[in-house]
Each structure stands twice: as C-alpha cells, then as structure tokens.
C-alpha cells in the first residue's frame, strides 16, 4: 500500500454509503485525485469541516493496490473564510474550481496549476482586487497550462507585431487563439487597442487595470475562447 502526504485544494464532494464521502482534490504532488473519507458524515467526525470545498489542506493519503485512495488524516492550512462569506467572490471561486474539476483529468500532475489555483484564490480574497480581474488572470494562465496559450504579441494572421499595423482596428479571433492586426482583414470580434494591450499586461501579471467594463469585456472574450477550445478537447477525448 502506497502512503503519502501532500497539500491539496478541495474541489468537490459526493455522498458515498451511509457515513462516507468521496472527495475530489487537486493535489500539489499527484494532480487531481478522488479519495474516500470514511466516517466523515458522522456528527462526531472531527475531519468533516476540514474537507469543505475551497479549503487548502494538508492530507495523508493511502492508496491500495487496486488504486483506491483513502483520506487518513487531514488538517486545514487555509479556509478562505472571508472569500466564502461574500457572494460575489465565492461565486467566482467556485467557477474556478468547477473549471478545473471538469477539464483536468485525474493523475495529470501539474504543480504549476496547483500554484495557479491557490494564487488566484488569494487574489480573489484580496479586497482591493476586482474579483473579475482575478478570474481573468486565472483564465489566461489556465489556458496556457492546458496548451492553449493565446498570442498577445503578434497578429495571428500575418505574424507581425500586433501594434505595428497602420490601422488601429483590431479583432480577437477565437478559433485562431489571438488578435488580428488592423492591416489584415481578418474575421473576429472587433476589440479596442486598450483591450489588446491590457490582455498582454494581465498575462504578464500586471493587475492594475481598474476599468470595470473593460475587465468584463475581456472576461467574456476569454469565456468564449475557453468554451470553444475545451469543447473540442472533450470531443477529442471521447474519440
Ligand atoms: Zn496582421
């Protein structure tokens, strides 16, 4: 039997038998895993509260030869209390967890993705950070981690530096995964020069953008991009 300790974020739980629950965790060392916590639904269980969704935990796992995983011990490292209390931030935090839960396969180790989830949740719980901006940051870096990095520097059609075009009319082309410069008559959503430049800055970790409407516009572009790319990812997985 394999035993190990790791850190994890609790993505989800489902009831299992009378007293047990199955938890989906995103762990630092093993990627996404499902593990059973026995007796956790009993009122007397001291482990129950530690395993709330969104908690960052330190966990001891034992894995049988058949691959079944048990949660033996658990300790809360961070519970994001303030974030959970606020409807606006908690809604966005659960969106991040859901996206990871739905798109990442079990057993794909990715420590950078683990760090990204934690970093984004910390951003969300920072009162001075616009919650949509924290989500935008997560979406941009998450897509890169999955292999769908957007190009913020060059035109996806002519490959020239995006701001070198004479015309300042830019477009975002979802299927090509980037911007089309003003000199190419490419199809896509018309976007402002400001939007192009801010998306590149956010990608580099500059989160000073204050304009709420622009943040919303970037968020909705990214969500369409995610929908399109991950839909085809699911299809290819089914085949
Ligand atoms: Zn071009």
Tell me which CATH homologous superfamily contains domain 2-78: Nucleic acid-binding proteins (2.40.50.140)
Distance 155 CA to ligand 1 centre (A): 5
CB atoms inside a 10 Å sphere around CB 106: 11
Ligand 1 centroid to 164 CA: how many Å? 9
Give the tens place of pLDDT for each residue, 68-122. 999 999 999 999 999 999 999 999 999 999 999 988 999 889 999 999 999 999 9
Residue extents of the structural domains in the chain: 2-78, 128-150+189-238
Please give the pLDDT value at position 45: 75
Tell me, in angstroms, the distance from the centre of ligand 1 to residue 193's CA. 14
> pLDDT tens, 135-155?
999 999 999 999 999 988 999
Q: What is the mean pLDDT of the chain?
A: 91
Model confidence, pTM: 0.91
């Amino acid at each position: 039997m394999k035993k190990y300790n790791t850190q994890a974020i609790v993505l989800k739980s489902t009831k299992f038998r009378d007293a047990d629950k199955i938890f989906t965790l995103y762990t630092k060392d093993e990627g996404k895993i499902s593990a059973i916590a026995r007796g956790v639904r009993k009122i007397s269980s001291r482990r129950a509260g530690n395993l709330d969704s969104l908690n960052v935990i330190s966990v001891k796992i034992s894995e049988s030869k058949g691959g079944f995983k048990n949660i033996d011990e658990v300790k809360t490292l961070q519970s994001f209390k303030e974030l959970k209390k606020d409807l606006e931030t908690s809604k966005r935090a659960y969106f991040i967890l859901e996206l990871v839960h739905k798109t990442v396969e079990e057993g794909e180790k990715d420590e950078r993705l683990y760090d990204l989830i934690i970093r984004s949740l910390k951003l969300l719980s920072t009162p001075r950070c616009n919650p949509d901006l924290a989500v935008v940051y997560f979406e941009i870096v998450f897509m890169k981690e999955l292999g769908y990095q957007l190009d913020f520097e060059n035109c996806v059609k002519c490959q020239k530096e995006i701001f070198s075009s004479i015309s300042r009319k830019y477009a975002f082309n979802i299927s090509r995964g980037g911007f089309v410069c003003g000199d190419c008559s490419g199809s896509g959503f018309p976007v402002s020069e400001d939007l192009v430049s801010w998306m590149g800055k956010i990608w580099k970790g500059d989160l000073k953008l204050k304009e709420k409407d622009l943040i919303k516009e970037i968020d909705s572009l990214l969500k369409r991009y995610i929908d399109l790319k991950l839909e085809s990812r699911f299809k290819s997985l089914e085949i």
